[in-house]
Structure 1
Amino acid sequence: MLKIFNTLTREKEEFKPLNPGEVHMYVCGPTVYNYIHIGNARSIVAFDTVRRYLEYLGYKVKFVSNFTDVDDKMIKEANRENITVPEVADKFIKAFFEDIDKLNVQRATVNPRATENIKEIVDFIADLVDKDYAYESDGDVFYRARKFKHYGELSDQNIDQLVQGASEHVGETEFDKKQDPIDFALWKKAKPGEIKWDSPWGEGRPGWHIECSVMSTKYLGDTFDIHGGGQDLEFPHHENEIAQSEAKTGKKFVNYWMHNGFVTVENNEKMSKSLGNFVTVHDMVKDIDPQVLRFFLSSTHYRRPLEYSKSNLQKAADNYERIKTAYNNLSFRLDNADGPADDVKSEVDAIADKFKTAMNDDFNVQNGITEIFELVTLANNYSAQDSVNADSAQYILKQLASLSGILGIQFGEKEDLSEEIQAMVEKRDQARADKDFATSDELRDKLKEMGVILEDTPQGTRWHIDG
């Protein structure tokens, strides 16, 4: 039985999807004015892991994640580069897909853009105005936060705290336009030279919060199963989404709210673009195996903070290599697997069951990885036997690939050597058999220069392509 920690109730709850066998899931995507940093990637990978596990359980997942492709940061970046806002968006959306593909993140079912949904956004705001949940003020439209009786429940704050916080962070001009300090913008009046659209309240553009309410309900319905994002989105973004959506529809917006922890750097400081302490995925994958980075990002429970450091990256690299080596060692034994039938499948199934128990506890990936390493140990012990059974070896490999795949680890197809290199490997094997170690070492060094690494095992010479 899968249980999910619901941020709204602050309890683990049994997961019961609205439609049996299906999960509708929305995760807030990036504002596309720069390359994603690994703090962004943490959220992307965390919810890709959640999605993969739901699919492992047999659910059909409809996964929606948006692009914020118009806001103050987008406008500032367009001005800096002397290009249009849509050109900035296109540039960094292309880079986003390149980066997540390298991290083996599954593409969303739908990746809607705010600018593709302006009509729906305007209609949504107009409905809130008609219901007296929103009001126009000098070309801006604001939401009456105090009118929504559940405002503050997601982030566990009361109105007095919110008023104080709003008073400290709202500029004087915007403050003067509002009827209440905690009201928030649904529509922003266009400044001279800014990108803009027509609306009943004059030319302008959407506020940030409204777009996710519009796009999530458009693609997933008025009520859906899971809404995810980083902890920094609990307030105000997700709090405002709930207020807008439930005021419009009169229905519960989301059944399970999930929030991932931050990536931290020195002194437990949150990694963010605003603090200038971020490292982009775009740069990191130039020097680090993307599979190692993916494993690093997915190997800590999604709600816990993840400390970014060279030592933790190295630990992830070592652990990833352990899994990969176990898989490759057992794959190598398939070439001469002629052993009798055995009962290893029952051992594998027991490990898989414990993995499932761990992951059913709010996607406890750390305990799940413990079970993956139990399977790694079993695979290593099995491949070291004098003889192995082909069906059993295949079964271990299949389960190792399946469980590791939930973390985004993928094992490559078996590589083929060219005739020239294959001949050199066989010549070296013969030299070793003849105890001609000088020739054997010379051939080994030549193969290494060609990128072919040899490993001598009791079952024969195993090779792999370096890197």
Structure 2
Amino acid sequence: MHAWPASEVPALPGQGRDLRIHDTATGGLTPLDPGPVARIYVCGITPYDATHIGHAATYNAFDLVQRVWLDTKRQVHYVQNVTDIDDPLLERAERDGVDWAALAERETRLFREDMTALRMLPPQQYIGAVEAIPGIVPLVERLRDLGAAYELDDDVYFSVESDPNFGRVSNLDAAAMRLLSAERGGDPDRPGKKNPLDPMLWMAAREGEPSWDGGSLGRGRPGWHIECVAIALDHLGMGFDVQGGGSDLVFPHHEMGASHAQVLTGEFPMAKAYVHAGMVALHGEKMSKSKGNLVFVSRLRRDGVDPAAIRLALLAHHYRADWEWTDQVLLDAGIRLEHWRAAVSRPDGPPAEALVEEIREALSNDLDAPAALAAVDRWAVTQEQNGGTDAGAPGIVSRAVDALLGVAL
């Protein structure tokens, strides 16, 4: 599966700063010091209704991570999956009377278009669950051989008790885990499971549903968590720098994935930092496909909204915060964009080197994009009120906003 084209990232004078970021597993800021190549895995969409503002907010956060690393002159190895086979996708296809594979392809294509418009840097590997199946099957078989998996009516489950570090990503108690498992695709009440929290690794073929050859597992399809594990281990290996996604993935998805990988490899942890973006609400409720309260990037673009304004609307909120999308949020972003563009269009301006360092410092401090925006606002106000004599300043500001914030002025 191919990703989307990369926008050029301008080079800036000076040196970027290492990133300190909030790690869900420890509950505090973690300084990240990757090697020459920083490694990041971000969980992708289930392509049955893309791309809403909640998606865009999540991928914007991890785009900032990449931009901070690139500014330190590192290379970035970024991997993202597409869950192009799962129950929600099949249910939507049946509801709409369309082929599930065609639906997945259509929505994935739309997602690529939206990511391109928003200037999100693409992953080096963009892998669908279906194409990953040949690598998933051996992992499930190995977990079974290790005694960490068991069969139940031809389905295969992972035993969470096989990982002594289970629970160290989310730090939730058993009752909270069970509740979230039931809400987020698990089946804690299924009779016969060794532990209610045990997640499915391989679902045996069901009548009328797609299935694939699973070797000794029989025909079926993979569970949700093992999909990401197989892709991440194949392309990044253990101990990569950042595992990213929305905060709704902390449990069970990232918790279970970490346990799968740790049992498979005997190493801990799967990722050095587990980083999660907040949820976006609309009309007082979390924006979600199940509720149908979605604002789509593609529809905003069709209505003539500048993608740079959409991106500024996202950047106006700290990535970890839960916030609400409103017409005013977008209006404010559009006004800010016009103000910035007017400021950099002048032939001279106030010196910009200090501004570049302010943006760098803000982003290195747990991706504090609102503080970075405020710094650019101050420079633009000074430009408007007093002007300046530095002929290179407007160009430096324009390049810095593009390179570090992904906003083309």
Q: Which residue identity lines up with residue 327 of structure 1 in the other structure?
A: V
Instruction: Report how far residue 410 of structure 1 moved.
Output: 0.7
**Distance in 2 (alpha carbons) for counterparts of 1:401 and 1:3:** 23
1:152 maps to 167
Instruction: Report how far residue 278 of structure 1 moved.
Output: 1.2
Q: 1:35 to 1:359 in 2, by over 3 A?
A: closer
1:250 maps to 266
1:297-446 correspondence runs (5 A): 297-328=314-345, 330=346, 333=347, 347-380=351-384, 384=387, 388=389, 392-411=390-409
Picking from 93, 97, 114, the partner of 1:78 is: 93
**Distance in 2 (alpha carbons) for counterparts of 1:293 and 1:29:** 20
Instruction: Report how far residue 160 of structure 1 moved.
Output: 4.7
**Distance in 2 (alpha carbons) for counterparts of 1:276 and 1:81:** 15
TM score, norm. by length of structure 1: 0.78
Is there any run of 5+ residues in structure 1 with no aligned partner, and where? 335-343, 412-467
Instruction: Report how far residue 374 of structure 1 moved.
Output: 2.7
**Residues 407-445 of structure 1, C-alpha deviation per residue, up to 9 Å, x if partnerless?**
22113xxxxxxxxxxxxxxxxxxxxxxxxxxxxxxxxxx
- 1:372, 1:400 within 8 Å by CA — same for their partners in 2? no
Q: Which residue identity lines up with residue 86 of structure 2 in the other structure?
A: D
| Structure with the greater alpha carbon radius of gyration | 1
Deviates more, 1:22-31 or 1:396-405: 396-405
**Distance in 1 (alpha carbons) for counterparts of 2:49 and 2:38:** 31
**Distance in 1 (alpha carbons) for counterparts of 2:187 and 2:371:** 50
1:453-464 correspondence runs (5 A): none
- 1:48, 1:105 within 8 Å by CA — same for their partners in 2? yes
Q: Secondary structure at 1:62's aligned position in 2?
A: strand
Instruction: Report how far residue 301 of structure 1 moved.
Output: 1.2
Deviates more, 1:114-123 or 1:163-172: 163-172
**Distance in 2 (alpha carbons) for counterparts of 1:139 and 1:116:** 23
**Distance in 2 (alpha carbons) for counterparts of 1:96 and 1:266:** 24
Q: 1:141 to 1:278 in 2, by over 3 A?
A: same
1:221-232 correspondence runs (5 A): 221-232=237-248
- 1:33, 1:74 within 8 Å by CA — same for their partners in 2? yes
Picking from 301, 313, 327, the partner of 1:285 is: 301
- 1:245, 1:253 within 8 Å by CA — same for their partners in 2? yes
- 1:42, 1:297 within 8 Å by CA — same for their partners in 2? yes
**Distance in 2 (alpha carbons) for counterparts of 1:365 and 1:158:** 33
Instruction: Report how far residue 355 of structure 1 moved.
Output: 2.2
Instruction: Report how far residue 401 of structure 1 moved.
Output: 2.4
Q: 1:54 to 1:191 in 2, by over 3 A?
A: same
**Residues 337-396 of structure 1, C-alpha deviation per residue, up to 9 Å, x if partnerless?**
xxxxxxx88x422222222222221111111112112332344356x46xx5xxx32243
Is there any run of 5+ residues in structure 2 with no aligned partner, and where? 1-17
Deviates more, 1:155-164 or 1:295-304: 155-164
Q: Which residue identity lines up with residue 208 of structure 1 in the other structure?
A: W
Q: Which residue identity lines up with residue 58 of structure 1 in the other structure?
A: K
- 1:223, 1:255 within 8 Å by CA — same for their partners in 2? yes
- 1:26, 1:228 within 8 Å by CA — same for their partners in 2? yes
Deviates more, 1:111-120 or 1:193-202: 193-202
**Distance in 2 (alpha carbons) for counterparts of 1:405 and 1:164:** 42
1:160-199 correspondence runs (5 A): 160-163=175-178, 175-199=190-214
Q: Secondary structure at 1:176's aligned position in 2?
A: coil
Instruction: Report how far residue 161 of structure 1 moved.
Output: 4.1
- 1:226, 1:254 within 8 Å by CA — same for their partners in 2? yes
1:218 maps to 234
**Distance in 2 (alpha carbons) for counterparts of 1:172 and 1:63:** 32
Q: Secondary structure at 1:300's aligned position in 2?
A: coil
CA RMSD of aligned residues (A): 2.2
**Distance in 2 (alpha carbons) for counterparts of 1:150 and 1:6:** 16
1:237-276 correspondence runs (5 A): 237-251=253-267, 252-267=269-284, 269-276=285-292
Aligned length: 389
**Distance in 2 (alpha carbons) for counterparts of 1:209 and 1:91:** 24
TM score, norm. by length of structure 2: 0.89
1:5-154 correspondence runs (5 A): 5-17=22-34, 19=35, 21-154=36-169
Q: 1:101 to 1:359 in 2, by over 3 A?
A: same
Instruction: Report how far residue 77 of structure 1 moved.
Output: 2.9
Q: Secondary structure at 1:175's aligned position in 2?
A: coil
Q: Secondary structure at 1:401's aligned position in 2?
A: helix
Larger relative contact order (Cα-Cα within 8 Å, sequence gap ≥ 6) = 2
Instruction: Report how far residue 170 of structure 1 moved.
Output: 8.3
1:206 maps to 222
- 1:295, 1:408 within 8 Å by CA — same for their partners in 2? no
Q: Which residue identity lines up with residue 281 of structure 1 in the other structure?
A: V
Instruction: Report how far residue 299 of structure 1 moved.
Output: 2.2
1:452 maps to none
2:14 maps to none
2:7 maps to none
Q: 1:220 to 1:166 in 2, by over 3 A?
A: closer
**Distance in 2 (alpha carbons) for counterparts of 1:48 and 1:161:** 31
The runs of 4+ residues in structure 1 deviating greater than 6 Å are 167-174
Q: Which residue identity lines up with residue 285 of structure 1 in the other structure?
A: R
Q: 1:396 to 1:198 in 2, by over 3 A?
A: same
Q: 1:255 to 1:45 in 2, by over 3 A?
A: same
Q: Secondary structure at 1:104's aligned position in 2?
A: coil
**Distance in 2 (alpha carbons) for counterparts of 1:294 and 1:167:** 34
Quick check: which one's helix share is greater? 1
Deviates more, 1:57-66 or 1:349-358: 349-358
**Distance in 1 (alpha carbons) for counterparts of 2:184 and 2:43:** 23
